[in-house]
């Protein structure tokens, strides 16, 4: 048995949290590869070390004195080292960081130092070998992650290292220049390591006991999700569920490695299992609900549109010309609607409208703003009759007007469009009809 364990920033924010992580790792001899994030917030109003590093480097870029800010960052690590009673000094590391900041090493380098330094501390604390992610996580020249080259190099490196700490969030180009993933990218690193060592399980330790069916900011004490498939998770993550970075699924999915989301502060809780497929039925018809506000719809009407070959392509070309991606495209016999992010569209709306007229010659175009999209996801929906009907009934009872409904052919998810003002009400209504009513 071989396990990769990743700890989030809140799980490593203080010496006390480090000790909890250490107890978890030592409690299972199979937890052999550890991926740490940078220290997160210690309390409400505190700063994450990554944000402190970004700010510090911004001062350096402007030619301003940043010694005070860098000293504050060092103080965060010294506090952890002292609390763990480690014989470790980061003086030389910070001397190098200061020198590289002055030389203009880049914001990616600056942000990566949070994980790099925490990796040094974690390796010392556990007695594991430290492997710099810049040596084994590789990026193409265009900034895209290089999965196959990385997998070969990392697999070879780990083959002779029985226990190691590999910092999350960053890697490097072929020339050694540091490149980071997007925020939350330590989740991706953990997945990459799990694939490279052919782990049996990838454990992702954070400050929550797995995924919840709905946002706890909207639903009071929502039920948890025991098991969720990769595909279900992709749908929920894309629509705003933020426990795990959505791109962290791909490396383990191709190897069939399950992910277990666990709570550092409640290590006995089983958390949520993320798997390729399962015969286990979810407790409810739906697995989860997630959504986002801030969309607008562009409704294009043209008589006999359905018989005009290439009409949809022409309409979408207008959005492509102005660099706008679309979210959903429901259509009817004489109507074609495109949902886009409002903030991306608003400054280009008239140019896009003109382009649609030029390319597709519609009869009319109508734009509606301030819309929200809600995804109702569940592998159990395909075996349950009347799921869409129950959603409509619940929303009608809650006096929510449905602007759009779109269901994929896989019957894995149903996307509903509502007004921004009805977003929370709609989620509560859907949760109540599928979950609360069945408790």
**Is 99 part of a structural domain of the chain?**
yes
255 lies in some domain? no
Query: Quick one: tokens of 146?
Result: 């290089």
Look at residues 207, 232, 252 and tell me which one is the last residue of a structural domain: 207
pTM over 0.85: yes
Give me 432's structure tokens.
Answer: 């109540």
> Is the four-CA dihedral 105, 107, 109, 114 of positive or negative sign?
positive
User: What percent of the chain shows pLDDT beyond 90?
Assistant: 84
Asked which of 146, 172, 207 is the last residue of a domain, the reply is 207
- Residue 410: per-residue pLDDT: 67
- 54 and 201 housed in the same domain: yes
Distance CA 8, CA 205 (A): 6
In a domain, 219, yes or no: no
pLDDT of residue 270: 94
Q: Based on the number of CB atoms within 10 Å of its own CB, is 217 exposed (0-12), middle (13-18) or buried (19 or more)?
A: exposed
Determine the average pLDDT of the residues in 315-324. 97
Instruction: Let me know if residue 338 belongs to a domain.
Output: yes
Torsion (CA) 167, 171, 172, 178 in degrees, nearest 10: -60
Token readout for 11 is 């799980």
Q: What residues contact 167, with CB distance under 8 A and at least 6 apart?
A: 35, 36, 112, 115, 116, 118, 119, 132, 133, 186, 189
- On whether residue 270 sits in a domain, the answer given is no
pLDDT at 314 over 80: yes
Number of domains in the chain: 2
Query: Within this chain, do residues 117 and 11 fall inside the same structural domain, yes or no?
Result: yes
Residues 407 and 304 in one domain: yes
Check residue 348 and report its DSSP letter.
G
Q: Could you tell me the CATH number of the domain that includes residue 54? A: 3.40.1160.10
Q: Do 166 and 28 belong together in one domain?
A: yes
Distance separating alpha carbons of residues 387 and 408, to the nearest angstrom: 13
| 247 in any annotated domain | no
Pair 19, 164 in one domain:
yes
Q: Is 235 left (phi over 0), alpha (psi -120 to 50) or beta?
A: alpha
pLDDT in tens, 94-108: 999 999 999 999 999
CA distance 50 to 67: 16
Which residue(s) pair with 205 in the sheet?
Answer: 7, 262
Q: Are residues 35 and 165 in the same domain?
A: yes
182 and 65 within one domain = yes
Whether 409 shows a pLDDT value over 70: the answer reads: no
On the question of pLDDT at 205 being above 90, the answer is: yes
Stretch among 99-113, 276-290, 342-356 having the lowest mean pLDDT: 276-290
Average pLDDT of the segment spanning 335-362: 96
Return the CATH number at 346: 3.30.2130.10
Residues paired with 375 in a beta bridge: 290, 415
Q: Is 210 exposed, middle or buried (0-12, 13-18, 19+ CB in 10 A)?
A: buried
| Of the candidates 129, 165, 132, 121, the residue with the CA atom closest to the CA atom of residue 17 | 121
Q: Which of 188, 207, 226 is the last residue of a domain?
A: 207
Check residue 405 and give its pLDDT: 87
Q: How many CA atoms lie within 13 A of 345 on its CB side?
A: 23
Range of the domain at 146: 3-207
Q: What residue spans of 35-164 are helical by DSSP H?
A: 49-61, 67-83, 91-103, 107-126, 147-159
CA angle 262, 230, 217 (to 5 degrees): 55
DSSP for 31-63, please give it: EEEEEE-----SSTT---HHHHHHHHHHHHHTT
In a domain, 63, yes or no: yes
In the structure encoding, which two tokens stand for residue 20, read together? 């909890």
Structure tokens at 48: 């994450």
Q: Beta 3-7 vs 326-328: how paired, if at all?
A: unpaired
């Amino acid at each position: 048995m071989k396990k990769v364990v990743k700890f989030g920033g809140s799980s490593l924010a203080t010496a006390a949290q480090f000790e909890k992580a250490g107890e978890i790792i030592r409690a299972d001899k199979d937890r052999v590869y550890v991926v740490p994030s940078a220290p997160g917030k210690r309390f409400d109003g505190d700063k994450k070390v990554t944000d402190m590093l970004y700010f510090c480097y911004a001062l350096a870029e402007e030619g301003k004195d940043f010694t005070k800010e860098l000293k504050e960052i060092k103080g965060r690590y010294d506090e952890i080292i002292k609390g763990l009673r480690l014989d470790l000094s980061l003086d030389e590391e910070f001397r190098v960081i200061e020198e590289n900041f002055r030389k203009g090493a880049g914001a990616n380098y600056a942000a990566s130092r949070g994980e790099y330094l925490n990796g040094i501390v974690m390796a010392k604390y556990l007695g594991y070998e430290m492997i710099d992610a810049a040596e084994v996580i590789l990026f193409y020249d265009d900034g895209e992650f290089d999965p196959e080259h990385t997998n070969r190099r990392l697999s070879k490196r780990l083959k002779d290292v029985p226990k190691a700490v590999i910092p999350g969030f960053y890697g490097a180009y072929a020339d050694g220049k540091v490149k980071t993933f997007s925020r939350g990218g330590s989740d991706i690193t953990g997945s990459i390591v799990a694939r490279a060592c052919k782990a049996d399980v990838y454990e992702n330790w954070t400050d929550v006991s797995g995924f919840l069916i709905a946002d706890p900011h909207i639903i009071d004490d929502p039920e948890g999700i025991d098991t969720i498939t990769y595909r279900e998770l992709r749908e929920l993550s894309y629509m705003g569920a933020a426990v795990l970075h959505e791109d962290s699924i791909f490396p383990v999915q191709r190897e069939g490695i399950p992910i277990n989301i666990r709570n550092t502060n409640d290590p006995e809780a089983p958390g949520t299992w993320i798997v390729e497929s399962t015969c286990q039925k979810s407790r409810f018809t739906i697995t989860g609900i997630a959504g986002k506000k801030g969309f607008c719809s562009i409704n294009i009407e043209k008589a006999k549109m359905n018989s005009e070959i290439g009409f949809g392509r022409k309409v979408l070309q207008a959005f492509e010309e102005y660099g706008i991606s679309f979210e959903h495209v429901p259509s009817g016999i004489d109507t074609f609607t495109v949902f886009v992010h409002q903030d991306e569209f608003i400054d280009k709306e008239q140019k896009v409208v003109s382009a649609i007229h030029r390319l597709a010659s519609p009869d009319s175009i109508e734009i509606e703003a301030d819309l929200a999209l809600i995804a109702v996801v569940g592998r159990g929906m395909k075996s349950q009759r009347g799921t869409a009907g129950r959603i409509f009934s619940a929303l009608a009872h809650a006096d929510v007007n449905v602007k759009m409904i779109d269901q994929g052919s896989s019957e894995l998810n149903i996307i509903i469009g509502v007004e921004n003002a009805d977003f929370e009400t709609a989620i509560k209504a859907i949760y109540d009809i599928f979950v609360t009513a069945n408790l």
